[in-house]
Structure 1
Amino acid sequence: MDNVSEMEVFVRVVQAKSFSEAARSLGLSPSAVSKQIGRLEDRLGARLLNRTTRQLSLTEIGAAFHERAERIVNDIAEAERAVSHLHGAPRGQLKVNAPVAFGIDHLAPLLPGFMAENPEVSVDLSVNDRFVDLVEEGIDVALRIGELADSSLIARRLAANRRVVCAAPSYLERRGTPASTADLKRHNCLVYTYRQQRRDWHFDGPGGHELVTVNGDLETNNAQVLRMAALGGLGIVLLPLWLVGPDLTEGRLIEVLPQYHVPDSSIYAVWPAGRHLSPKVRAFVDHIAAEIGELAKTWERH
């Protein structure tokens, strides 16, 4: 076998944690797989795997080699798929990442329709609000909300992300309703910690652009927690309409300072650059772009 084939055997063994399972997936005998691993180790002059009767584990050198070998094997497989599936139907596993609240409330309901239209695609969806490195974590496509940092990612804008300042009627009855942005300084403003300069709230109003540095007794890295705290009357929040639109419509929350506009950001689908856009990613992005575009119209109706 050539060097690339030996790498593929090694990567399969690590994934399967078994010579026999790797052999079965490759259509080889366990002895042939063992010989290829031995040949690879001889060529490199280093032991890559610790072998016992019960388990396999990577050596320190093996772990470093595996990280690079896996990337090479995946890139070769992707290059082959780019040719063979260029005009083919979407198929294979699609790894998607999204923010928690948006992923649960708006992306998850779209998956059944997408998967019904693309029965050969399986979806692995992870939801979290931390920054995710798509390349390092093997994510095919992610949804991101806000201003995108300069990067090599390709982005498609899905919708505007309009945000409002709001609070529960019970809080406003107890503490009063702010009449100007300056009044926010004497209010309990709840803060989302994943925003850069999270205590700085920007407004465009009758007097132009204004910046207010707010303070409060709750900080959290989850937007849904902020919403629940606001509904409980704890304080004032700055949240997107896709999250609080129904609460505003039904009076559970009231928009504060409606004469001021919080600068909009956007909702994007992003994926790694320098790669062929596979049919599964293209199909997914096209599907959610259409669906979220329609959803965004309802977020404005409050």
Structure 2
Amino acid sequence: MQDLNAMLVFARVVEEGGFSAAAEKLTLSKSAVSKQVAKLEDQLGVRLLNRTTRRISLTEAGELFFVRAQEVVAAAEAAEQAATSLQDAPRGTLRLNAPVSFGRQHLAPALPDFLYVNPDVTIDMTLTDRFVDLVKEGYDMAIRIGALPDSTLIQRRLADARMLTVASPDYLTRRGVPQTPLDLQRHDCLCYAYQATGDEWRFSGPEGIIRVRVAGQLRANNGDVLMEAAIAGLGIIVLPSFLAGDAVRGGQLTPILRDYKLSEGAIHAVYPHARHVSAKVRAFTDFLARRFGGKPYWDRDL
């Protein structure tokens, strides 16, 4: 097991963008910070940082290790705070940002349960599928799904984000059932405007990685709109199971291409880094982890 202090130092170097800034943040000498990172690299047997006279950058191994190091450091800090702040009760206004579909379907039913047992907390929630800057826009935390490009945020994994390729039974009767991802090029597909890969859907299967450029009559920046269009028979859509699950269980949508997996991410709670996370953020994050953790309820009978 790696030295927790060395992991903390490494994480600060990356977050602050250099050894000098990290040293100032940690109230250590620059040489002490450099030695800690070198010691960590020696223990791991890999280079984590590329160093030049002007800047540092993460190696591929460094990028992977940084994500895990952040989680470990955050967990250790949370444990420390829990042990020393048992008397701190959650209170105040929690400014929360979340994606529209997930917020409507899964956060909305959860909020009353949380607020009943935390009467001193007020939640101010904004639903948008736009990527927001938590610090600049004044949010305490956000729920994010999929890739997390802002590595300066603390990330806590809440649940897997399983993706399904689905279409209505009517559409499949009229147009046929695709047997491989490449067949999608001959079908109408419904496109999500904020998808990281644009109109390219990426699958992995017996043939390896398959990238397919899709097109159709409808593009939208909201998953509920696309799901309703798919149910109406307008085309094939890739949707997260937390959104499509009820329609699949009810027979309105049929999963296809079961032998091919889509790249899947996770549902995270994210919040700006702070030495002492507020009790309201910690309490709400713990609540969501209990509610959605393990195998989430929306996947249990799919």
- The verdict on a shared fold, with TM-score over 0.5 as the criterion, is yes
Report if aligned partners of 1:241, 1:300 keep a CA contact under 8 Å in 2.
Answer: no
2-structure distance, mates of 1:122, 1:208: 49
Name the SS of the counterpart of 1:285 in structure 2.
Answer: helix
Matched residue type, 2:204: D
Number of the residue aligned with 2:189: 189
Q: Tell me if 1:131 matches 2:131.
A: yes
Number of the residue aligned with 1:156: 156
* Cα drift, residue 204 of structure 1: 1.1
Q: In terms of Rg, which structure is larger? A: 1
Q: Tell me if 1:107 matches 2:90.
A: no
Name the SS of the counterpart of 2:204 in structure 1.
Answer: strand
Q: Which runs of 4+ in 1 moved over 2 A?
A: 84-87
**1:7-47, Cα deviation, whole Å (9 max, x unpaired):** xxxxxxxxxxxxxxxxxxxxxxxxxxxxxxxxxxxxxxxxx
Report if aligned partners of 2:169, 2:253 keep a CA contact under 8 Å in 1.
Answer: yes
Name the SS of the counterpart of 1:188 in structure 2.
Answer: coil
Map 1:264-283 onto structure 2 (within 5 A).
Answer: 264-274=264-274, 276-283=276-283
Report if aligned partners of 1:193, 1:221 keep a CA contact under 8 Å in 2.
Answer: yes
TM-score by length of 1: 0.70
1-structure distance, mates of 2:208, 2:151: 31
Matched residue type, 2:112: P
Q: How many residues end up aligned between the 2 structures? A: 219
Q: Give unpaired runs (5+ residues) of structure 2.
A: 1-83
Report if aligned partners of 1:230, 1:236 keep a CA contact under 8 Å in 2.
Answer: yes
Matched residue type, 1:137: E
* Cα drift, residue 246 of structure 1: 1.4
Number of the residue aligned with 2:240: 240
**1:143-185, Cα deviation, whole Å (9 max, x unpaired):** 0000111421100000110101000011111111111111000
Matched residue type, 2:152: S
Q: Tell me if 1:120 matches 2:145.
A: no
* Cα drift, residue 132 of structure 1: 0.8
**1:61-120, Cα deviation, whole Å (9 max, x unpaired):** xxxxxxxxxxxxxxxxxxxxxxx9784111001111100000010011111111111110
Number of the residue aligned with 2:80: none
Identity fraction in percent: 48
Name the SS of the counterpart of 2:165 in structure 1.
Answer: strand
How big is the alpha-carbon RMSD for the aligned residues of Structure 1 and Structure 2? Answer: 1.6
Number of the residue aligned with 2:301: 301
Cα 1:201/1:228, change in 2 over 3 Å: same
Matched residue type, 2:259: Q
Map 1:78-93 onto structure 2 (within 5 A).
Answer: 87-93=87-93
Number of the residue aligned with 1:286: 286
Matched residue type, 1:225: V
2-structure distance, mates of 1:202, 1:196: 11
Number of the residue aligned with 2:215: 215
